[in-house]
Structure 1
Amino acid sequence: MNVVAQDLRWGVKRKTIVSDVSLTVAPGETLGLIGPNGSGKSSLLRLLAGLRRPLSGRVEINGRDISKVPRRALSQQVAFVQQNAATDTNVTVRDVVRLGRTPHRSALSGWSDADEAAVAAALDCVDMTGRRAQAWQTLSGGERQRVHIARALAQTPQVMFLDEPTNHLDIHHQIEILRMVRDLDLTSIVALHDLNLAAMFCDRIVVLDAGSVRACGIPDAVLTQDLLRKVFRVAADVSASPDAGRPHIRFRTE
């Protein structure tokens, strides 16, 4: 499914947080949202996922205005992975992933073979099948994030939105999570802080600054020394990597 945003604007009180943002995400593409703190990444992600209504503009998924799609129907197509989802409830990994089937089930429906198959496939996709009976509280941070993604996959979505999915993870788990997201057969839009990870794993990158799009394109066209200085206010050397279109950024201290 493709995602198209047209002239999105959103804010609170008198402060504009997302300002006239337009973008298009192709089916199967992994789009990265990057920008300084407060640039509007999380807010834009929630607008695109239909979790917030814009003050103006529209979002279309596969040609349909999502404001006119019933919430349950939208949740069957779109999944959202938060930065940090936590629970104090004593639940297993499988219990958490089963929650992803909620949009597909009515209040009176029983647990079906299709539900079970979706949960099993989601656990297998994130390599957590062997941990399905393990208590949530015993998981590491990287394992929990994989379970969050499995819960989203259990929705059988066609578009996935991820808000800082590698936040607070060590580098091994950061790479593991983003490689897994990139390899999914889905359209993915992911907000990231780490610019080198965005360059490694995203097909295209949108740079936000003060709620507006400053640049959009493939990583090596977007992540330039000039943009890093103007938007992120850092000095850096940008070099080519062996992967075409995948630059490497080395930040300077001066």
Structure 2
Amino acid sequence: MSIVAENLHWGVKRKAIVSDVSLSAAPGETLGLIGPNGSGKSSLLRLLAGLRKPQSGRVEVNGRDIAQVPRRALSRQVAFVQQNAATDTNVSVRDVVRLGRTPHRSALSGWSATDESAVAAALESVDMTARRSQPWQTLSGGERQRVHIARALAQTPQVMFLDEPTNHLDIHHQIEILRMVRDLDLTSVIALHDLNLAAMFCDRIVVLDAGSVRACGTPDVVLTQELLRDVFRVTADISASPDAGRPHIRFRAG
């Protein structure tokens, strides 16, 4: 499914958090959102996912304005993985992932083989099958994040929005999660802090600065020394990596 956002604006009181943002993601594309803290990445993701209503502008998924799509129908197409999801309920890993099937089931429908298959596939995708019966409260922060990604996958969405999905994960699972998301047959928009991970796994990158789009394009075009200096206030050397010529950033100390 394609995603198109046109002239999105959202703010609190008189402060603009997202300002006149337009972007698009093609079917099957992995689009990265990067920017300094406070640049509007999380707010923009919520606007794109329909979790927040823009004060002006519109978002279309597959050519249809999401403001006109019923919430339940939208939830069958779109999944959202937030930064620090939490629950105080004493449930198992499998129970958390089962919640991803809610949009596909009516109040009177029983648990089906399709539901069970979706949950099993989601757990396997994030390497949590062996922990499926483990209590949620006993998981580490990184393990909980992987379970929430599995819950989103259990929705079998066509579009996935992920807000810092690699937070709390060790480097092995950061790479595995992003590789998995990139290889899924769906459209993904991912907010990331790690610029090298964005360069490795995103087809294109949107750079946000103070709520506005500063640059958009392929990683090799967007990630320049000048942009890193002006937007992120860092000095770095950039070279082409062996991975299809994608840029590798080496930050300078001092």
One fold, TM greater than 0.5? Answer: yes
Residue 120 (str. 1) matches residue 114 (str. 2): no
Correspondence 1:24-173 to 2 at 5 A: 24-173=24-173
How far does residue 159 in structure 1 lie from its aligned partner after superposition? Answer: 0.3
> Could you tell me whether the CA contact under 8 Å between 2:142 and 2:167 is conserved in 1?
no
Question: Which amino acid in the other structure matches residue 208 of structure 2?
Answer: L
Q: Distance in 1 between matches of 2:37 and 2:97?
A: 31
Q: Which residue of 1 aligns with 2:208?
A: 208
> Could you tell me whether the CA contact under 8 Å between 1:160 and 1:189 is conserved in 2?
yes
Q: How many residues align?
A: 254
Q: Deviations over 1:26-82 (max 9, x none)?
A: 111111000011100000000000000111110000010000000000000000001
> Could you tell me whether the CA contact under 8 Å between 1:219 and 1:245 is conserved in 2?
no
Q: Distance in 1 between matches of 2:157 and 2:86?
A: 22
Q: Which residue of 1 aligns with 2:218?
A: 218
Question: Which amino acid in the other structure matches residue 181 of structure 1?
Answer: V
Q: Which residue of 1 aligns with 2:184?
A: 184
Bigger shift: residues 34-43 or 136-145: 136-145
Q: Distance in 2 between matches of 1:140 and 1:251?
A: 30
> Could you tell me whether the CA contact under 8 Å between 1:218 and 1:245 is conserved in 2?
no
How far does residue 129 in structure 1 lie from its aligned partner after superposition? Answer: 2.1
Q: Which residue of 2 aligns with 1:229?
A: 229
> Could you tell me whether the CA contact under 8 Å between 1:225 and 1:237 is conserved in 2?
yes
Residue 198 (str. 1) matches residue 198 (str. 2): yes
TM-score, with structure 2 as normaliser: 0.96
TM-score, with structure 1 as normaliser: 0.96
C-alpha RMSD of the superposition: 1.2
For residue 76 of structure 1, give the secondary structure of its aligned residue in structure 2. helix
Q: Distance in 2 between matches of 1:184 and 1:140?
A: 25
> Could you tell me whether the CA contact under 8 Å between 1:119 and 1:154 is conserved in 2?
yes
Gap runs ≥5 in structure 2: none
How far does residue 145 in structure 1 lie from its aligned partner after superposition? Answer: 1.8
Question: Which amino acid in the other structure matches residue 63 of structure 1?
Answer: G
Q: Distance in 2 between matches of 1:239 and 1:180?
A: 25
Q: Distance in 2 between matches of 1:28 and 1:158?
A: 9
Q: Distance in 2 between matches of 1:180 and 1:6?
A: 29
Q: Which residue of 1 aligns with 2:239?
A: 239
How far does residue 238 in structure 1 lie from its aligned partner after superposition? Answer: 0.8
Q: Calculate percent identity across the aligned residue pairs.
A: 87
Residue 250 (str. 1) matches residue 250 (str. 2): yes
How far does residue 217 in structure 1 lie from its aligned partner after superposition? Answer: 0.7
Q: Distance in 1 between matches of 2:245 and 2:186?
A: 21
Question: Which amino acid in the other structure matches residue 108 of structure 1?
Answer: L
Q: Distance in 1 between matches of 2:108 and 2:197?
A: 44
For residue 234 of structure 1, give the secondary structure of its aligned residue in structure 2. coil
> Could you tell me whether the CA contact under 8 Å between 2:9 and 2:19 is conserved in 1?
yes
How far does residue 178 in structure 1 lie from its aligned partner after superposition? Answer: 1.2
